[in-house]
Amino acid sequence: MDIRYEVNPIDFKSYSTSEVREAFLIESLFQTDTLQWTYSHYDRLVIGGAVPVEKTLRLDWSDVLKTAYFLERREIAVINIGGEGTVRVDGEVYTLVKRDCLYIGKGKEVVQFESEDAAYPARFYLVSATAHQSYPTKKLPISEAVPTKLGTDAESNRRTIYKYIHQEGIQSCQLMVGMTLLEPNNMWNTMPAHLHDRRMEAYLYFDMEPSSRVMHLMGQPNETRHIIVKNEQAIISPPWSIHSGVGTSHYTFIWAMAGENYTFTDMDPVPMEALT
């Protein structure tokens, strides 16, 4: 498990390109027959990837968390971005096709991941936050998720947002998770930018061609930096940072939040003239 510590925004001003990448970019989430984990000290969010091909993978790392099992004091969201796969939760079987979401609440002891077809394996994206009570395990297929259409071609940000885990959707302690799909020829997300100092956020960019890149913008509004992101790489976004991006082509990203409150609309808008 890769450990990432919090960064002071004053120190961030002096970071080099490599230091910014080392602190906030997760480069290798999806590796065959392994679980890859990054532990962020921002709201203790754990970000992972599982690609079961020849093996069944089991949710673990309790030795790092110092608990009897992974979900003893945690909850987790699982979103499949690959081929069909199954998640077994204490013996219950959930089948996920691409873009389906599964929420697993605190207290579930045995969680296993498998692929239906080794030639086109599932690629499970995992986001876990600490939890104080248990909510039911629940699956939300992409076919049943309610889409919200936003943006315009003129602003290059026509997109569809699916909210999976939130106040009006799957219930959780503090996780909020959803997915944004940009339409072809639309490349901007979350601009004009915003802040939510009560919550951190993680972005997973995917559905990109190997040669495509996203320029992810971050930092305080008056001290912005960028990270160049490849397909299936993730960004840790601190509460004091904007989180926006523009791609060389359209892309999809999963956003996940955890922190002080549970209000999706708690956002502080940043005027364009405030960005430097």
CATH number at residue 209: 2.60.120.10
Dihedral (CA of 167, 95, 150, 267) sign: positive
Distances (CA, A) of 1 to 41, 87, 118, 274: 13, 21, 25, 37
pLDDT at 260: 84
Q: Which residues of the chain have pLDDT under 70?
A: 62
Taking only the tens place, the pLDDT of each residue in 162-199 is: 999 998 899 999 999 999 999 999 999 999 999 998 99
pLDDT at 47: 98
Q: Cis omega before residue 192 (within 30°)? A: yes
pLDDT at 129: 98
pLDDT at 176: 96
pLDDT at 194: 93
Under DSSP, the state recorded for 212 is -
- Decide if 92 is inside a domain: yes
Of 33, 207, 60, nearest in space to 128 by CA:
60
Number of domains in the chain: 1
Distances (CA, A) of 246 to 104, 155, 195: 32, 12, 18
Residue 19: which domain range? Answer: 6-272
List residues forming the annotated binding site.
Answer: 194, 196, 201, 243
Give the integer Cα–Cα distance in Å for 105 and 125: 16
Q: Is 24 helix (H, G, I), strand (E, B) or coil?
A: helix
- Decide if 162 is inside a domain: yes
Give the integer Cα–Cα distance in Å for 199 and 42: 9
Residue 54 · residue 229 · CB < 8 Å: no
- Decide if 1 is inside a domain: no
In one letter, which amino acid is 63?
D
Taking only the tens place, the pLDDT of each residue in 84-118 is: 999 999 999 999 999 999 999 999 999 999 999 99
Q: Output the pTM of the full model.
A: 0.96
- Decide if 151 is inside a domain: yes
Residue 137 · residue 148 · CB < 8 Å: no
pLDDT at 267: 87
Token duo for residue 7: 């960064």
Residue 85 · residue 113 · CB < 8 Å: yes
List residues forming the annotated binding site for Zn(2+).
Answer: 194, 196, 201, 243
